[in-house]
Structures are given as C-alpha cells and as structure tokens.
Amino acid sequence: MEIHTDVICPFCGTLCDDIEVHVENGRVMEALNACKLGNAKFMSMNKKNRHIVPMVRGEDGFTETTIEDAVERVARMLVDAKKPLLYGWATTECEAQSVGIELAEEVGGVIDSCASVCHGPSVLAIQDVGFPSVTLGEVKNRADLDIYWGSNPMHAHPRHMSRYSRYPRGYFRERGQQDRTVIVIDVRRTDTAGIADKFLQVSPGDDYELVNAFRTLLNGGDIPDEVAGIAKKDIASALELMKTCQFGMLFFGVGLTMSPGKHRNIDNAISLVVDLNKYTKFNLIPMRGHYNVTGFSEVLTWQSGFPFGVDYTRGYPQYNPGETTSVELLSRGEVDAVFVVGSDPAANFPKKAVEHLAKIPSAVIEPHETPTTYLCDLNIPSAIAGIEVEGTAYRMDNVPIRMRKIMDAPAGLYSDREILEMILLKVREIKNGA
Amino acid sequence: MKEIILKVISQPTVGLEAENIAPKVFACKSSMEIAGLPIYEGNRERRLGDFFDVSGEAGEAEAETRIVIEGDVRLTKRIGQGMRAGEIHIKGSAGMHLGSKMRGGKVTVEGDCEAFCFQEMRGGVVHIKGNAGNYLGSATRGNWRGMRGGTITVDGNAGSEIATFMKGGKIHVKGDCASFAGVHMNKGFIVIDGRAERRIGAEMIGGTIVANEVEAMLAGFKPVETVKAPEIESEKFTGNYKKYSGDHADSRAKGTVWVKIQ
Amino acid sequence: MELEIKNGVVFDPLNKVDGEKKDILIRDGRIVEKLKGKHDVIDASGKLVMPGGVEIHSHFAGGKETAGRMLRPEDGARTVYPKRNGLRSGSGYSMPSSFTAGYLYAQMGYTMCNTPAMPPLFARHTHEELGDVPIVDKSAYPTFDGNWFVMRYLKEGDPDKLAACVAWFLRATKGLVIKIVNPGGTENWGWGKNAVGIDDPVIGFDVTPAQIVKGLAEVNERLKLPHSIHLHPNNLGKPGNIETTVETLELCREVKSANARQTVYLTHAQFHSFGGDSWKNFESKADELAKYINRCDHVVCDTGNVTLDETTTMTSDGPMEYFLHNLTHLKWVNKDVELETAPGITPFIYSRKNPVHSVQWAIGLELALLIDDPFKVLLATDHPNGGPFTRYPRIIAWLMSEPYRRYYMEERVHKGAQKGSSLATLDREYTFSDIAVVTRAGQAKALGLSELKGHLGVGAHGDVAIYDIDPAQVDPSKDFKAVEKGFAKTAYTIKDGEIIVKDGLIRATPQGRTYWANPVVDHELDREMLKDVEQYFKKYYSVNLANYPVQKEYLKRGREIQIDARDVK
C-alpha cells in the first residue's frame, strides 16, 4: 500500500493540505483528515464508469473518436468562431489555466471563469472600494471574532472552522474556542448558526439594508427600531462585539454575493470592515467555492491585468463584467461557440443562457459525465487535477499551494494542460495554413 | 451642419464594436471612405459598409457633422465614443457604450439604449426617448471618477446603478428607476419623475437626487425637513418634498435626497 | 553563436571605459576577447553602448503586484498592449501585466529585474509569475521584517540558529536577498498598530526594530550573501522621518562586510528623507541624508523618484498603506501574511499642483545630485510607488540637464518645491558614465553580481543596450528631449548574445534566469534549527511544512548561488 501524506484536497477553496491518502492497487482505500466532501472526491476515484475516449455528437447520438480528431474539431471550432467563449477553469491547475488564456488570446475569444456566477461580485466590489484581508493563519493566531455571513461552512467548507477560525489554538489564542466568538448572519438558521454565539436572521434580500444599518450606527447615526427583520438592539449588540474585539474577521459566501444587490452588498460590507479599522483590526475573506477559482483570477490578472470575463476579440484584453461575462454573453447571443473546461454551465446557468449554448457549436473537457458533457457537441475526458495531475492551486486567501499527484490516470487520458496544449498547437497550425 | 445617413442593411451575429461611428472620424470623409472604415464583428475586422448603407455628406469638422442612423443598432457598441462635438441621431435602439467618455455634442436615441451608455461623460446633451439600461452615465469598472458633466434625459425608465460615482452633470429620468440610482455619488444632480426602487443614493457622499416616489430609504438617510415647492439646483419643483441627508453609512456623507410627499 | 558590436561609443564604468570607441565581442552568451568564426555584426557607430540595465528595486511581479492589478481595472483600461508579432497582449499604465513588463524593460535596454518584497508564503506565486516575465534575468527578495522565527531567535539570543533559519527561508523561497520592510511594524500591524521608531516594542515578541535590523545585517554578512540587507526602514512617508532613517543606517555602521560592499542598502530613499513635523511645514531633508551617505561607506541607496503620475502604491508596509488610504479615501487593499509580513496597496495621484508631491519630486533628484559617488545612489522609482518604471528615460534626462529641471521647477511643479528643497540651487549634471552607473553598474555592484552583470568586460553576460544617442552630437544639457527619447527605446537590446530588440521592436522572447541564494550552514545546526521550524509550523502556519518550500518546477531557468557558510555552526 502506498501512503501519501500532506496531500492537497482538490475540492473547495479551503484547500486543506494535510490529507493522508492510502492507495492500494490503484484504489483509494482511505483519505484521512478529509471532510465528507473531500473524502467523497477521493473515493470517487474508485468508480468504474470513467470515460476514457472523447465522444462526438453525430446524427445518431454520441460516438467515440480519437484524441487527435477531437483536438482538431475543437481547434477548428475555435478558429471558425467570431467570438468564442472559453469558460470554466475553476477545477484545474494554474498551469492548465495559463495555456487556456494563451488559447483564448490566440483565437480572439472571451475567457471567463465560474467566478462570474459565484464570487465575481466580490471582485467588482473590491475594484470599487478595496479589500482589507489577511491569510488564514492570521485568523488562526489572532482572531477573537469570526463572522460568517451568507455562508454555511458546516456544509460547504466543513474544515474551515476547525482549521482556521472557531476551534484551533493559535499563538495569541492559546485556549482555542474559548478565546473566540462567532456570529452568523443568514436568512435561515443554518447548522453553522447552531454553533454560533450569536445569530442574526436577516430577511431574504435585505443584506444591503443590514450592512447600511451597521455602518450608520458605527458612524454615530441612528437607525429605525427594526432593519432587515432584525431589532435595533440586536444590530447594536453585534456591532459592539465587532468594535470591541481585538481582531475581527468577516467571512462571506454566495448568500451575500448572489442576493439582490450582489456586488453592492460586498462593496458595503468591505466598507464596513474598512470603517471598523478605525476601532480595531478587522479584515475579510470570501468563502470561495471551487478549489482553484482563485488561482484562475490570479493567473489571468498577472497575464492580462483583469481577473475574469476578459474579452480578447480585439487583440488586447477588455474587461467589463455584465458585458464580457458568460451568462450575459450567452443570454444576449453574443458568442458563437463555447468551449468549457472543468465546469458544468448546463447545470447552473440560467435557462436563456443554456438555450443559446445548446444552439451554437460547443465542446467540453471534463473528467466526469455531467449535464454539460451531454449538451455539448464534443466531450474530451481528462485526468483529474490534484489527484492524477500535480500543479498549482490558490486557496481562498490567495495562498498558492502545489497539488500532489497520488495516482496515475487510466491509460489514454491526458491532463487538461496537455489537451489544451494540443489544441493550441493545432489552432496555430490551422491559422498558419490558412 | 452636414449629414451622413447610415441605414442598417444587415445585423451582425455576435455584435459589433464601432467606435469609428463618430462625428470626428466621419468629418472630411466621403460616404465611400466612411463605408470603408473598419468596424469589428467579434475578432473579424469588417467594413462599415458591410452593415450599413452610407449616404449623405460629412462636414468639414467634427462640430459640422451629424450622423443619422436608421434602423436598430442594439448590437452595435461604442457609437460616438469620446465625441466632443457634432450630432448623432439614432432612429432605433442603441447598443452598449454609446457616447462613452463623451465631452460634447448631441446624441438622440428614438428607441432604447442598452447598458453602459455614456459612462464617464464630461459634457454634451443626450436625449433617450425610450428606456435606458443599467449603468447609464456611470463610472467604468474600478474608477472612482464617474460622469462629470453634460445632461442626459431619459423619457422612459432607467435601469439599476445609474450615475455610479457621479461627479457632475445631470441625469433626468422621466419614468421609473431601478435600484441603486446614484450609488457612490459625489456631486451632480439626478431627477427621477417616476418611482425609484430601493437603495437610492446608496453610499452617496455628495450630490443631489430628487425622486417623485421611492420604494424605501436606507437607514443611512436622515430626514432633515419638509419643504413646500422647493428650489433645488436652481430648478423649481411643485408640491411638498421631504429632504434627507445621507448616506450616513459613510462618515463623510453630504448628499441630499428629496422625495415628494404624495 | 557569435556577435560583434562595432564602433559604438562605450560606457562601461566598472571597467573604467568612459565613452571610448570600442568593439564588444560576444560568444556563447558571454563577452569574450576574440571571436572564432563567422559572426553577425552590428554597426554601432554614433550610438551609445552600455551594459544591459539592471533593475534593483521594482514591484513588477508577485502576489501584491497582482492584487494591485486586480484592484485597478481602470489602470488596466488606461493603457492596453495588443497581441502582435508573436508577442502576448497585456494592459496597465502604472502596473503593466507580466509579459508586457518584460517587453517594456527589454525595450529600455534592461536585462535584469529584481522584485523586492516577496512574502515567503507567496513565494510560489512570485516564481510562477516571474516565469511569465520574458527576456530579463530576475530574482526575488523574501521579506523578513515580521518573521516570527527571526524575532524568536533574536529574543532568545541565538544568532547561529537565526542564521541557519534565514538560510532555510532563502532556500525554501528561492530568494536572493534579505528584505526588511518596516521592521516590527508589519507584525504590530497584526493588531492595527505600527512601529515608527527603531526602539518601539514589537507586541508579543519582546524585540525592537533596531534588533531586527542589526541582527539581520549581521546574519547577512555571516552568510556571505551577495547583496547586503535591503532595507525599507520604519516610518516611511511621514514628515520628519529623516531622524529614524539616519538612526537606522547608523545601526549597520559597525557591521563587518563579508563581500567588500555596503552593509545596508536603503531603498527608495526619497520616502525616508522628509523634514518638518506636519504636511504644512513638510520639507526635504535630502541634504542631511546625502551628507550622511557621503561621509560613510556602509550605505548604498536608491532614489525612489516621484514622477508626478497617477500610480498604484504597493508595499509590504501595511500600516503605511492604511495611513495613505486615510489621506486620500481611495480604495485600499490589505494582505497581512501569517508569521511574516503585511503588504498593502492603494492608488495614489501625485499632482504637479500639490506642494508636498512637488517637494517629493525634488527630493528624488536632490539625492542623486547631492550624493557625490553615483555608485552610492541608484536610479529607481520603487515602481510603481513613485511612478511607473517607464518614466526612467525622463528621470535620466532630468539628471543630465539642469535646464530641464529648471523648466519643471519654474513651469510645471508647485512653487513649494523651490522653498521646500535645494533642487533649484543644484547645477550638477550627470554624465553618460554616471547614468551607466546609476542604471546598471551600480546595481550590479550593490547586488554582488558584478562578475556577470552591469559591465562589458570579458566573462560578463552578453547583455548590451545600444541607444540611438550620439554623444558627439547630443549635448544632454540642451537636448534633454533627445536624451529622454533615446533612452526610451533601444536601437538594440542584446541578451546573452542574442538580439532581443531591434529599433525598439521585440524580436525574441527567451526565458531569463532566476537567481537565488543558497548559503549552506553547518549540517548539525541546520538540523537543530529545523526541529524548531517543524514545531512552529504545525502550531501556527496554515499550511504544512512539507507543502511550504517552492519546488524546483517553479523556476523555469533557476540559477542557484551556493555559498559555503559552514563556519556558521
């Protein structure tokens, strides 16, 4: 039996790096330290029904094809398109993302990640008002107040509280949990709320009003007796905890980024955190979902200057979420081909966007069968990043970690990066030949 | 003033970027030269004449050139970008980034305009006879310096987040306005004749907004007084208005919102 | 591959070549005495020939650099670079994206760039990004200002383990230089506090900034590192900070240099040469710092010129960036890094009409003109803090032309600059040789890389910049515009003997080397020290020790500088 230690879990943005994986005869026997989500990801390696061969849609449904043929088809689709969309990227390593960006630039397309449907609003807010943040080790060593807003780590990031916030002992927090207070703000009493010291139940869609009330009180103003379904005294007492802590943290999730107001909720929440720095040390971290959605933003930003939704059709990067982002481009019918890498837009995009996706040429690289692999004209299965392929991923606090390879992919499967490199090469061949 | 007429003859499949449709570019050019100007359909460079029939005559200068567009150009972006003088008259609906960073001249749209029009405008006169999309007269991504001058009138309704980070000029919406009108506004003037959705004036630190009706005011707005037939920014308003200061979420707040008492 | 550069007017200060007509020969990437066979010839008659430029302090790549780009899409949209001739596209006025930064430096004749503040935990990011900066050789300076191991060993009085630990961090991060930013202040920023004086306590660690600076300066020499400590002292950007600056430099006076060079490198000196006690009576103290540096031989500094642009400030000095944000109310990024340091970012508009900014503009130039030996005062804007590196040609022109400076003093900047500084009284004009010192030779020497970089003697890297400026025709004092234009784009940039830029256009984009230092201390000591590291890691870091060191894969063309420091035990 092989024992792999210090393995990085390629599931959520917590990017735990202390997993011990036991592999015997190509089967994962155990994934110690992993949470139930991470464990499920490692255990899913043992499933039998893995696709190995690219599938292309013909008149009679899908038929198998070779990798060479599949690569050529994707390359031609991209070269023929006036405005192809290259979407996904959150569940692959940075080295593959980098090739994807070069491909998007080469074909004059738009490249976008799932940030545009999860934490894109956070980025827009950052770009308007800033981003006071810290790494998660700072939280562990210093924080005595953690706020989870619109985020339910018990289910979405199960080890977040045990590794960084609620439970661990830190340099200045020797007693661990006893030294820390947790506030949960959510529209319903989540399981995370169940272990919180204080829970504020905000009426659905009124998060912005609540932030506004916090800030108004903080700046010496007065507020009505009830805001966003919460009594003034509860708002005031929560605010008192924020002002008087030594080191406060705000963790926020899609409950805040995707509720009405979207980036403005975050914009105002960031400003609240900035204001709190007049009283104490306060910072925030977005609870990023997919394990490497952060890495994509980093790579795209240092290469192009912009973090997601980058339009290369004019030969230089243009950035305007709401215009250059996937859902809007598809819904408005502004793209004429779609290439998905490691994502499932067919399952989570709005109906209008999926309808356009179904109408135009499309292809996907994806290790598993998903609604998107059925919807696209062509799918290329790939090796699984972070388990069968090593490479870089960035944690939710932008800390870069190298993911380890713990087993070989089934024979015949290539990594996302290798497939993308083949496509890029083919694209150049076609362009030079034309 | 001389006039060039662009008649839509074909619709693009993925939208056009056409910053070349502007009085400054057209000035001193023949209709044939104008038809040969590059515009971009996705990653393909095309000719203006591929999508428009060009007739008429351009003026000797930007200020002497009027462009009339006949047909729907909802998918054509960047018309009149950066214009300083002259006129554009669109007899249909207009695409994104119409008149962005405009400094002068006149733009009229008979139909609607899409989102992100007249961003960071500094001067000129705009009349949208239909509805306007989101981010009308707003700042571009990341910029804290939004619209600084000029006037925009919308006969219909306007979308959300109009006039973000506004620093001057005036926007008049005769219909209703979606949420976050004047968010982060600093200076300038917004008048909404209809109903404004909630979060009007959010995070404003200066400037003035007048609304006939609001869905709700944020807690950060403090009622100051009630005024009968007030004169606001040298304009007279009839009826009784409630004056608020805000948004006191920000400690620097010096903004004003006037709401008519029904 | 062989190349002959014929008849150029050569300025090569390290070899005492001062404007002589001379041929430069390159074989297999190195400068040689003789060529063997058929070779390409560049006729450089009437052109200025210098070694490739060396950037000693520029935030062009790394974690906060990318955070700065992300913060400012409006800066990206301001300048875009289309994809063409096989070059990658990019964007950014004050903070160009990675590929673009490599191209722009090469077009100005630079062949080596060093990114000066790498939080160790983000080293992997820095190296990933450096891999996407084409052409130039490069290195990164890991930050040690708030390093918990360093502070612990200082407190325990264990200089040996301290040295071993610093060596380990250099190895783990693949870093070249010990960088110190606001010593102790960045740790105190973990509580929203700062350290403004060198004797302020560091909360929870019972050490002072003075101990950190002195301790690391001594370690630096015991490890025989190529460069000295690279220091951004406490109290940056505050009126009256000159006192702290001089006190800090004085800490290193008695430190013995292992490599016959300075023992402290003061970076962006402009930001540390302020007098007065408020913005109202703010004034230049460049004369005081210059006097100090002229008198001693343990200090080299760079100017940190302000270029009067809208820019993006980014430093590892978190409390300073928060202070700046409170001045301007512009958007603010903070990025405290566990156990290490605390970067921050905020946009800044230097205005010609602002008296303080105008004095800052003057200070950067005063320093260059008041410090006698150009090897002691190198040219840098602390890109992008004082302004983008693309402004170097203008700074060169200012240094070479008193009339150009006078024009700015009288016509362009706020009159406050005349009152608040001595610039108007300075008539010194830099020679081409001086310029060669402050843009390449001095950097290479200060970095301890002058065997390979910053000169055109036999054995040096075949890195050459050829500018379309004819010293026989151009009088820099009068023709300052020609100087500015000439230094903006080379006629040729040659890297390792390959023509990279011709007539200002990029022709090739090879991958440059990444230098890092590996001082090897006594094995036993190393093991003992690692036991402490292991224990600390488990308890306080958020990543496992096994996942911390930067793997070799991240250095596309790594160059290890191994140093025998086994006498440290």
Identify the segments of chain C with pLDDT beneath 70.
none
Is C37 within the bounds of a domain?
Answer: yes
How close, in Å, is residue B96 to chain A by CA atoms? 9
- Nearest Cβ partner of A135 from C98, C121, C333? C121
CA-to-CA dists, residue C441 to C39, C229, C245, C480, C497, angstroms = 27, 19, 25, 22, 19
Answer yes or no: do C204 and A142 touch at CB < 8 A.
no
CA distance A155 to A194: 12
Kindly state whether A264 is in contact with chain B, defined as any CB-CB distance less than 8 angstroms: yes
What's the confidence (pLDDT) of residue C85? 85
Name the closest residue on chain A to residue B75, using Cα atoms.
Answer: A334
Residues C148, C172 contacting (CB under 8 angstroms): no
Residue of A nearest to C553 (CA): A391
Q: Does B229 touch chain A (CB under 8 A)?
A: no
pLDDT at B242 over 70: yes
Note whether residue C95 is domain-resident. yes
3-state secondary structure chain B: CEEEEEEECCCCCCCEECCCCCHHHHCCCCHHHHHCCEEEECCEEEEHHHHEEEEECCCCCHHHEEEEEECCECCEECCCCCCCCCEEEECCCECCCCCCCCCCCEEEECCCECCCCCCCCCCCEEEECCCECCCCCCCCCCCCCCCCCCEEEECCCECCCCCCCCEEEEEEECCCECCCCCCCCCEEEEEEEEEECCCCCCCCCCCEEEEEEECCCCCCCEEEEEEECCEECCEECCCEEEEEEECCCCCCCCEEEEEECC
pLDDT of residue A434: 59
Q: For residue B84, count other CB atoms closer than 10 A to its CB.
A: 17
The verdict on C47 and C58 lying in the same domain is no
For chain A, percent of residues with pLDDT exceeding 90: 96
Task: Based on the fold, state whether residues C38 and C78 are members of the same structural domain.
Answer: no
Subunits close to A (at least 3 CB pairs below 8 A) = B, C
Percent of chain A exceeding pLDDT 70 equals 100
In this structure, is residue C534 part of a structural domain?
A: no
Sign (positive/negative) of CA torsion B216, B221, B222, B225?
Answer: negative
pLDDT digits (tens, 9 = 90+) for A56-71: 999 889 999 999 999 9
Instruction: Calculate the dihedral angle through the C-alpha atoms of B159, B161, B165, B166, rounding to the nearest 10 degrees.
Output: 30
Which of chain B's residues have a Cβ under 8 Å away from the Cβ of A322?
115-116, 134-135
Contact status, residue C474 vs residue C483, Cβ threshold 8 Å: yes
Q: Are residues C172 and C35 part of one domain? A: no
Give the pLDDT score at A118. Answer: 83
Is B141 in contact with C75 (Cβ distance < 8 A)? no
Chain C contact set for A316 (CB, 8 A): 80-83, 89-91
Q: Is C330 on the interface with B (CB under 8 A)?
A: yes
CB burial of B90-115 (b: ≥16 within 10 Å; e: otherwise) equals bbbbbbbbbbbbbbbbbbbbbbbbbb
Residues of chain A with CATH 3.40.228.10: 120-286
Q: Of A80, A127, A212, which to mutate for an interface test with B (greatest number of B Cβ within 10 Å)?
A: A212
**Based on the domain organization, do C159 and C107 belong to the same domain?**
yes
Put simply, the answer to whether C74 touches B142 (Cβ < 8 Å) is: yes
- C58 and C44 belong to one structural domain: no
CA distance C104 to chain B (A): 25
Reduce the secondary structure of C235-291 to three states and give it as a string: CCCCCCCHHHHHHHHHCCCCCCCCCCCCCEEECCHHHHCEECCCCCCCEECHHHHHH
Instruction: Report the half-sphere exposure of B87 (CA within 13 A, side-chain side).
Output: 15
Cβ-based burial of C262 (10 A; exposed 0-12, middle 13-18, buried ≥19) = buried
> Token pair 């023509």 is at which residue?
C499
**Chain A residue whose CA is closest to C148:** A171
**Co-location of C134 and C253 in the same domain:** yes
- Cis, peptide link before residue B247, omega less than 30° from 0: yes
C-alpha closest to that of C171 among C223, C213, C239: C223
Strands A337-341 and C179-181: unpaired
Q: Does residue C334 sit in helix, strand or coil?
A: strand
| B141 closest CB neighbour out of C73, C330, C331 | C73
> What CATH number has the domain bearing residue C76?
3.20.20
C496-525 pLDDT, tens digit per residue, is 999 999 999 999 999 999 999 999 999 999
Q: What is the CATH number of the domain that holds C497?
A: 2.30.40.10
Interface test with C, best of B138, B144, B145, B252 (most C CBs within 10 A): B144
CA distances (Å), origin A370, targets A38, A51, A375, C246: 19, 11, 9, 65
- C152 phi-psi bin (left φ>0, alpha ψ -120 to 50, beta other): alpha
Residue type, A272: L
Record the tokens describing residue B179, joined without a space.
Answer: 């949420």
What's the token pair of residue B93? 């609906």
Question: Alpha helix (H) ranges present in A305-408?
Answer: 326-331, 345-348, 351-359, 371-375
- Looking at the partner chain, which of C76, C121, C124 has a beta carbon nearest the beta carbon of A306? C76
- B141: closest CA of chain C, how far (Å): 6
C47 vs B: CB within 8 A: no
Residues 6+ apart with CB under 8 A from C304: C267, C268, C269, C270, C271, C364, C380, C381, C382, C385, C386
Same domain membership, residue C333 and residue C228: yes
Q: A-chain residues within 8 Å CB-CB of B144?
A: 128
Q: Is the dihedral of CA B134, B140, B145, B147 positive or negative?
A: negative
**Contact at CB, C89 and A394, closer than 8 angstroms:** no
How far is the alpha carbon of B139 from chain C, nearest alpha carbon, in Å? Answer: 10
pLDDT at B158 over 70: yes
For chain A, positions 64-93, list CB contacts with chain B under 8 A.
81-83
* Residue C170 located in a structural domain: yes
Both C32 and C144 in one domain: the answer is no
Number of B–C residue contacts, CB under 8 Å? 15
Whole-number pLDDT of residue C513? 98
CA separation (Å) from A237 to A198, A240, A282, A347, C452? Answer: 10, 5, 17, 41, 64
Q: Which domain holds residue C491?
A: 2-51+461-506
Q: Which chains touch B (3 or more CB pairs under 8 A)?
A: A, C
Q: Using CA atoms, how far apart are residues A251 and B241, in angstroms rounded to an integer?
A: 41
- Select from A128, A133, A247 the Cβ nearest to the Cβ of C331: A128
Which residues of chain A neighbour C90 with C-beta distances below 8 Å?
303-305, 316-317
Average pLDDT for A71-85: 98
Architecture of domain A50-118+291-433 in this structure: 3-Layer(aba) Sandwich (3.40)
**pLDDT band at A142; cut points 50, 70, 90:** very high
Q: Report the percentage of chain C scoring pLDDT > 90.
A: 99
Q: Which residues of A385-417 are buried (b: 16+ CB within 10 A; e: fewer)?
A: bbbbbbbbbbbbbbbbbbbbbbbebeeebbbbb
Identify whether residues C437 and C491 lie together within a single domain: no
- CB C402, CB C423: distance < 8 Å: no
CB contact under 8 A, A267 and B203: yes
The alpha carbons of chain B give a radius of gyration, in whole angstroms, of: 19
C240 and C143 in a common domain: yes
- Domain A120-286, classified CATH 3.40.228.10, yes or no: yes
- Hey, how many other C-beta atoms are within 10 angstroms of the C-beta on C428? 11
Q: Which pTM value belongs to this model?
A: 0.98
What's the whole-number mean pLDDT along residues A383-412? Answer: 97
Give the SS3 label for residue A318: strand
Residue pair C184/C145 in contact by the 8 Å Cβ criterion: yes
User: Is A275 within 8 Å of B199 when comparing Cβ atoms?
Assistant: no
Q: How far is the C-alpha of B42 from the C-alpha of C295, rounded, in Å?
A: 63
pLDDT digits (tens, 9 = 90+) for A22-50: 999 999 999 999 999 999 999 999 988 78
- Same domain, yes or no, for C42 and C152? no
C230 shares a domain with C220: yes
Give A303-356 pLDDT, tens digit per residue. Answer: 999 999 999 999 999 999 999 999 999 999 999 999 999 999 999 999 999 999
Looking at the 3D structure of chain C, how many domains does it have?
2
Beta carbon pairs, A and B, within 8 Å: 106
> Cβ contact (<8 Å) for A392 and C128?
yes
- Assess contact for A281 and A224: CB atoms under 8 A: no
Angle at C63 between CA C344 and CA C539, to 5 degrees: 85
Q: Which residue of C has its CA nearest to B250?
A: C329
High-pLDDT (> 70) share of chain B, %: 100
> How far is residue C362 CA from its own chain's centroid?
20
Residue among B11, B218, B222 with most chain A CBs within 10 A, to mutate: B218
Contact A323 B247 (CB under 8 A): no
What is the nearest CA distance from B220 to chain A, expressed in angstroms? 5
Residues of B in contact with C75 (CB under 8 A): 142
Using CA atoms, how far apart are residues B73 and B95, in angstroms rounded to an integer?
6
* Averaged pLDDT for residues A205-230: 98
Of B140, B141, B144, the CB nearest to C330: B144
- CB of C298 closer than 8 Å to CB of C376: no
- Tell me what the pLDDT averaged over chain A comes to: 96
The C-alpha atoms of residue A302 and residue B175 are separated, in whole angstroms, by 43
Distances (CA, A) of B205 to A55, B188, B208, C157: 57, 11, 10, 53
- CA B74 to chain C, closest CA, distance in angstroms equals 24
